[in-house]
Amino acid sequence: MLKVRTIATGQVVGKPVAGVRLHDLAFTPDGAEILAVTEGVLGQRWRTATGERADAGWAAEFGKARLLTITNRIITTDPLRLWDLSARKTIATLRSDGDVTIAVSSDQQKFATADRAGVRTWRSATGAQIGLTVSAGAEVSVLSFLRTADGSPSHATTTPCVSSIPKRESPSARPWRMANWPASWRLSRTAAAC
């Protein structure tokens, strides 16, 4: 169930939306609307002040979805596609091989995907791949962009961080092959390291 509440009082604003499977939820950059992706529907919008639906969105077939409100994009899987939220159209259908894990940079200008083929980085504006596909050597369980200790965004917008833990093995059960990774990438053994 989706409910819009005021921060000051916690009171529900507008009518709750029931019976939907929520994939992703985000505020627009100005905070005036909430965007949602639910089962089979992209781009739904609710006004934060009233809780009223501003846009019913549009139907699409997909697996999972991530909203990029700064760049006005949606990424969906099954198949892997980049959508323009305003134009309601596909910008690019991207290469993928099996289940896809998605990470988005803090400025939302880039996103990374990981699947059986490896890790790829893409431009959010166009869907163009940045650099080469890098093999992780194992199933990628967590994908994010690096954050520095002081919270500065220098690496948070440029460097994918991969945690790769085989499902049936402990992290120390096999050697980590880092030779194939660019020096600017880090392969960590636990999600907490990212």
State pLDDT tens for residues 133-190: 888 766 777 788 776 555 444 444 455 665 554 444 433 333 333 334 444 444 443 4
Give yes or no for residue 115 having a pLDDT over 60: yes
pTM, 2 dp: 0.71
In the numeric block, the tokens 């507008």 are attached to 14
- As a dihedral over the C-alpha atoms of residue 58, residue 59, residue 62, residue 65, rounded to 10 degrees, the angle is 30
Residue 44's identity, in one-letter code, is Q
Domain ranges of the chain: 1-93, 97-194
Q: Which of 48-52, 110-114, 120-124, 134-138 has the lowest mean pLDDT?
A: 134-138
Give the closest residue to 81 by CA, choosing from 92, 67, 70, 66.
92
Report the SS3 class of residue 193. helix
> How long, in residues, is the chain?
194
pLDDT score, position 184: 47
Q: What is the mean pLDDT of residues 90-109?
A: 88
